[in-house]
Chain A
Amino acid sequence: DVKVTQSSRYLVKRTGEKVFLECVQDMDHENMFWYRQDPGLGLRLIYFSYDVKMKEKGDIPEGYSVSREKKERFSLILESASTNQTSMYLCASSPRTDLGYTQYFGPGTRLTVL
């Protein structure tokens, strides 16, 4: 089975702190994704990566950056956390195939910024 793990289930940070969210997948997938989930808005794509050291902005990249130094690991970075970044963050991975591919999701990190 595909496994996507995220470094923390719950995280509490203060405004202005630098925050790192880590994601690791064990299926040698090329594509990895970071989403945030907010009530009534579904999931919105922050960034994705289709290869090591490659990244593409999603729909809401402002205030975030990412790093992919190894194929299995994709990090989301909040350079200076703000209260409006309080949310559930979900990581996903997928193989690079046709449009019918499936994304596999991690359990999520619930981040609270005080």
Chain B
Amino acid sequence: AQSVTQLDSHVSVSEGTPVLLRCNYSSSYSPSLFWYVQHPNKGLQLLLKYTSAATLVKGINGFEAEFKKSETSFHLTKPSAHMSDAAEYFCVVSVASGGGYNKLIFGAGTRLAVHP
């Protein structure tokens, strides 16, 4: 069965330092993978997605993620954190639900705190 594991429930960084949010997936075929971000009291926004094209995917706000099949990982990174990056981040895999339709499986989320 397809699943997603976010390895850290909370990550805390200082402003200007790198961000690493870790995600491992389990899938029986080549998956589509996503990172979504949720700012306080806001809906989820797509950061980036991988759909079997380039393994290094660039997203909005300077984030990027690398698909590593050998490690079944899709970690999210940013070279320099900004205060506005404080939010909850979800790693997501898209799976076929049968009948030609597909659905998203969400990880439990990683809450990113950014300190001055």
Question: Which A residues form the contact surface with B (CB < 8 A)?
Answer: 4, 31, 33, 35, 40-45, 48, 50, 56, 58, 90, 92, 96, 98-108
* B contacts with A, residue count (CB < 8 A): 27
Task: Kindly list chain B residues whose C-beta atoms are within 8 Å of the C-beta of A45.
Answer: 103-104
Are A108 and B43 within 8 A (Cβ)?
A: yes
Tally the A-B contacts, defined by beta carbons under 8 Å: 60
The CB with the most chain B CB atoms within 10 A, among A41, A48, A50, A102, is that of: A102
Can you report 14 A-B residue pairs in the complex whose CB atoms are below 8 A from each other? A4-B43, A31-B101, A35-B106, A42-B106, A43-B104, A45-B103, A45-B104, A48-B101, A48-B103, A50-B101, A56-B99, A99-B96, A100-B49, A107-B42
Are B107 and A42 within 8 A (Cβ)?
A: yes
Task: Kindly list chain A residues whose C-beta atoms are within 8 Å of the C-beta of B41.
Answer: 107
Do most interface residues of chain B lie in helix, strand or loop, or is the interface mixed? strand
Are A100 and B51 within 8 A (Cβ)?
A: yes
**Given A33-B103, A40-B108, A45-B103: A99 touches B43 (CB 8 Å cut-off):** no
Question: Which B residues form the contact surface with A (CB < 8 A)?
Answer: 9, 31-32, 34, 36, 41-46, 49, 51-52, 90, 94, 96-97, 99, 101-104, 106-109
Question: CA of A107 to CA of B42 in the docked complex: distance in angstroms?
Answer: 5
